[in-house]
Chains A and B, each alone.
Chain A
Amino acid sequence: MHKNVTLNKENTPSVDLTKCNTILSKYSKATHADLIPILQQIQDAYGYLPMAALEEITVRTRIPISKIYGVVTFYSQFSMEPRGRHTIKVCVGTACHIKGAPDIKKKITEVLHINEGETTSDYKFTYEPVACLGTCFLAPVMMVDGRYYGKLTIEKTETILKSY
């Protein structure tokens, strides 16, 4: 838990808030309980949570920005950095672990030159670990965007990454 979030303003492209406002307009009487669903929708729409959008949530819902920031940094699903076009989720669950997930992870780092939780400099891939994708019979497994790749080997992993 607890991610260290570094905000790099220069790298953050200026954000068009239209989509954010459309989402927020559905919550005219938003309460604290709506915060996580709002954040989930905004992240779906933008691929990440732009700072400007968080500020907009504060203005519209009156939930203090500190609380929003607290929630965003607590849950691993949320990211405040722009993300790659493809998200690689590597399962690090128990079944995958004993069937070689650590080797798969090493291979990904080797091929993409990034560690878990990072995005390639060309914004092509974001690479994150996930504890069990619920498809343990395919171990070791990874998911690229919505697609599963099971029974991975080091060679297969490399081929898959290069196919994107």
Chain B
Amino acid sequence: MEKLKDHDALVKYRKSLESKRRPDMIRVLICTTGCRALGAEEVYKAFKLEVEKQSLKDKLEIVDTGCQGLCARAPVLTIEPMGIFYGRATETDVPEIISRTILKGEIIERLCYTDAGKRTPYIRDIPFYGKQKKIVLRNCGNIDPKRINDYILRDGYAALSKVLTTIKPDDVINEVKNSGLRGRGGAGFPTGNKWEFVKKAVGDVKYIVCNGDEGDPGAFMDRAVLEGDPHSVIEGMLIGAYAIGSSKGIVYVRAEYPIAVEHLKIAIEQAKLLGLLGNNILGSDFSFDLGIKMGAGAFVCGEETALIASIEGKRGMPRPRPPFPATSGLWGKPTNINNVETFANVPIIILKGSAFYKAIGTETSKGTKIFALAGNVKNTGLVEVPMGTTLREIVFDIGGGIPGRKKFKAAQMGGPSGGCVPAQHLDLPIDYETVKEVGAIMGSGGLIVMDDSTSMVDIARYFMEFCQDESCGKCVPCRVGTKRMLDILTRITKGQGKKDDIGLLKELAEVTKTASLCGLGQTAANPVLSTIRYYLNEYEELINKKDAPSLPQESQTTQT
């Protein structure tokens, strides 16, 4: 690989890749990231071996990709150009897939997606994919994330080259502002405005940081993006860095995500070789270096000031804001922190324009949102939908509904800072504001579906235990407040609740919310308040019924 010296060189490089394309080839796309947990690597190897054995090199290409979305059917594979989707494939299925489907065009029924006895071989007919709109996930599952050429072939780095040659930094910021993009890390702060603050802040050095800590238990969106399309995040960071005047970036990745780190490392190396990272990128006077930092297991490190402390090598404890990182962040310098998904949105906004982007979504929330759909739902997996899609569409149309004979009870959104959305709000169009109104938060995108066998008091206790454990202990309201609330909730689930426990919980919740130092404590009571709001009867039942059997968290296993 040779360094691309300017915009034209990139265009030429893409053309040369295009000319080498073989549209006559059949491609088998296999997810080897999330699906690895169920033997996808063995399936991939078996395909490679078979191609070798049967000398099919000129006919068949095997591509290992990132997440294809329908994780419930893992390991999954797609056969292009036919668009056949197979799930739960094992290495022993491979010879048959080749001899029947690839060479003869036959469908193997047992590997097809089925719902209520109906088999759906083609991806275009599977309802799970029908209602989705893949913007951020446009490449995820379609390319080999370890090959920069795959990304470049799909217009990768075209947005970067566009800004470097034709758009001034201030206009990049304006374009992002106009698009209406809001931070996907949870709070939904307008991204363009944040960039403007950092741009205007005084400092000889400025940093840009990507928050890939993804600590919400039950969420895996950022993991999928980093694993399946790392270059889109790198390109988003490059554009942000150019806009705010930064030449040094860091991606902070959670310790539990080794594949994400591996793919990022490869992506950074390849981008360097092509001159897309480093000095004088594409012949411009813009230079940018990117490094990776691995977390060491602490939820609170997802909070931006704690994350900064952690990168600096300290205990990851938050500090009061202001000053905001935008004016005083990493080593006291102006620092821009955005979430993985936020950055991955940026190249599309630049390439297709803010008008295109703004046309998707609701009044206050533009674009799409990725959700990690899990829990008691048939099609667990990764979904991307326009803002404003209803919960019903996500859980029932895309998710396929609740398995077994159970009924939908609630969807937990926003993890430990969020709340439970009950059945009466299923038709709510989801955006930052509406979700807040019903007592949950958009959060980072974890969406856990619960059926009618789930005890809501247990869920409240579960999240409180999580927050209490992860509280860094620096401020008293959070450290003591979470502990006291946990004590009360545990007491209630054990059937030892007292008459005034609910009042006490509400009071503690209020204090912890108003007096805590960072978002962890400020939101820790949300799951409690939201369950009291909608499921007060469950609390009362447990409190009134003395000697209730020691409760659900210990006695319940729902299997699908």
Chain A residues near B (Cβ < 8 Å): 1-2, 31-37, 39-40, 67, 70-71, 74-78, 92-95, 97-100, 102-103, 106, 130-139, 141, 148, 150-151, 153-154
Option from A37, A94, A141 in Cβ contact (under 8 Å) with B462:
A94
Known contacts A130-B256, A135-B37, A153-B557; is-contact A94 B313 (Cβ 8 Å):
no
Known contacts A93-B218, A94-B412; is-contact A106 B296 (Cβ 8 Å):
no
Contact A137 B381 (CB under 8 A): yes
Contact A151 B215 (CB under 8 A): no
CA distance A149 to B470 in the complex (A): 26
Contacting chain A: which of B13-21, B141-149, B446-454? B446-454
Known contacts A71-B315, A97-B553, A131-B217; is-contact A136 B372 (Cβ 8 Å):
yes
Please give, as numbers and ranges, the residues of chain B lying within 8 Å of A154 by CB-CB distance.
557
Option from B255, B412, B462 in Cβ contact (under 8 Å) with A77:
B255
Option from A75, A135, A148 in Cβ contact (under 8 Å) with B296:
A75
Contact B313 A32 (CB under 8 A): yes
B294 interface residue per 8 A CB criterion: yes
Please give, as numbers and ranges, the residues of chain A lying within 8 Å of B72 by CB-CB distance.
137
A100 to chain B, nearest CB (A): 3
Option from A76, A134, A151 in Cβ contact (under 8 Å) with B34:
A134
Contact A1 B374 (CB under 8 A): no
Contact B450 A98 (CB under 8 A): yes
B310 to chain A, nearest CB (A): 7
CA distance A34 to B314 in the complex (A): 10
B478 to chain A, nearest CB (A): 11
CA distance A15 to B315 in the complex (A): 26
Interface centre among B218, B316, B553 (most CB of A within 10 A): B218
CA distance A67 to B470 in the complex (A): 20
What are 6 A-B pairs with beta-carbon distances under 8 A?
Answer: A36-B313, A71-B315, A75-B316, A95-B217, A95-B375, A136-B218
Contact B374 A33 (CB under 8 A): no
CA distance A74 to B74 in the complex (A): 36
Known contacts A97-B553, A137-B71, A137-B72; is-contact A33 B473 (Cβ 8 Å):
no
Please give, as numbers and ranges, the residues of chain A lying within 8 Å of B257 by CB-CB distance.
134
Please give, as numbers and ranges, the residues of chain A lying within 8 Å of B473 by CB-CB distance.
1-2
Q: Name the residue of chain B whose CB is nearest to the CB of A39.
A: B296
Please give, as numbers and ranges, the residues of chain B lying within 8 Å of A138 by CB-CB distance.
37-38, 74
CA distance A99 to B558 in the complex (A): 5
B194 to chain A, nearest CB (A): 24
CA distance A70 to B256 in the complex (A): 22
Known contacts A135-B34, A148-B37, A153-B557; is-contact A40 B217 (Cβ 8 Å):
no
Contact A94 B296 (CB under 8 A): no
Please give, as numbers and ranges, the residues of chain A lying within 8 Å of B314 by CB-CB distance.
32, 67, 70-71
A30 to chain B, nearest CB (A): 9
Closest 4 CB pairs of A and B: A100-B557, A93-B217, A94-B218, A148-B37
Contact B218 A102 (CB under 8 A): no
Contact A1 B215 (CB under 8 A): no
Please give, as numbers and ranges, the residues of chain A lying within 8 Å of B34 by CB-CB distance.
134-135, 137
Contact B313 A78 (CB under 8 A): no
Contact B223 A153 (CB under 8 A): no
Please give, as numbers and ranges, the residues of chain A lying within 8 Å of B549 by CB-CB distance.
none
A68 to chain B, nearest CB (A): 10
Please give, as numbers and ranges, the residues of chain A lying within 8 Å of B119 by CB-CB distance.
none
B376 interface residue per 8 A CB criterion: yes
Known contacts A98-B448, A131-B215; is-contact A136 B374 (Cβ 8 Å):
yes
B312 interface residue per 8 A CB criterion: yes
Q: Considering the complex, which residues of chain B in the window 391-420 have a beta carbon less than 8 Å from any beta carbon of chain A?
A: 412, 415
CA distance A163 to B471 in the complex (A): 37
Contact A148 B217 (CB under 8 A): no
Please give, as numbers and ranges, the residues of chain A lying within 8 Å of B74 by CB-CB distance.
137-138
B297 interface residue per 8 A CB criterion: yes
B469 interface residue per 8 A CB criterion: yes
B128 to chain A, nearest CB (A): 12
Q: Name the residue of chain B whose CB is nearest to the CB of A150.
A: B37
Contact B313 A31 (CB under 8 A): yes
Interface centre among B37, B215, B466, B559 (most CB of A within 10 A): B37
Interface centre among B215, B300, B316, B448 (most CB of A within 10 A): B448
Please give, as numbers and ranges, the residues of chain B lying within 8 Å of A36 by CB-CB distance.
293-294, 296, 310, 313
Please give, as numbers and ranges, the residues of chain B lying within 8 Å of A35 by CB-CB distance.
313
B456-473 vs A, CB cutoff 8 Å, 1 = contact: the mask equals 000100110010011111
Contact A1 B470 (CB under 8 A): yes
Please give, as numbers and ranges, the residues of chain A lying within 8 Å of B372 by CB-CB distance.
136
Known contacts A71-B313, A103-B554, A130-B256; is-contact A151 B559 (Cβ 8 Å):
yes
Q: Considering the complex, which residues of chain B in the window 274-320 have a beta carbon less than 8 Å from any beta carbon of chain A?
A: 293-300, 310-317
Known contacts A131-B299, A134-B223; is-contact A74 B316 (Cβ 8 Å):
yes
Contact B296 A136 (CB under 8 A): no
CA distance A83 to B466 in the complex (A): 24
Option from B37, B38, B554 in Cβ contact (under 8 Å) with A106:
B554
B526 interface residue per 8 A CB criterion: no
Apart from the given pairs A94-B375, A138-B74, 19 other A-B contacts in the complex at a CB distance below 8 Å: A1-B469, A2-B473, A33-B311, A40-B294, A75-B296, A76-B296, A76-B297, A95-B217, A95-B374, A98-B376, A99-B558, A100-B558, A103-B556, A131-B299, A135-B37, A137-B72, A138-B38, A141-B37, A150-B38
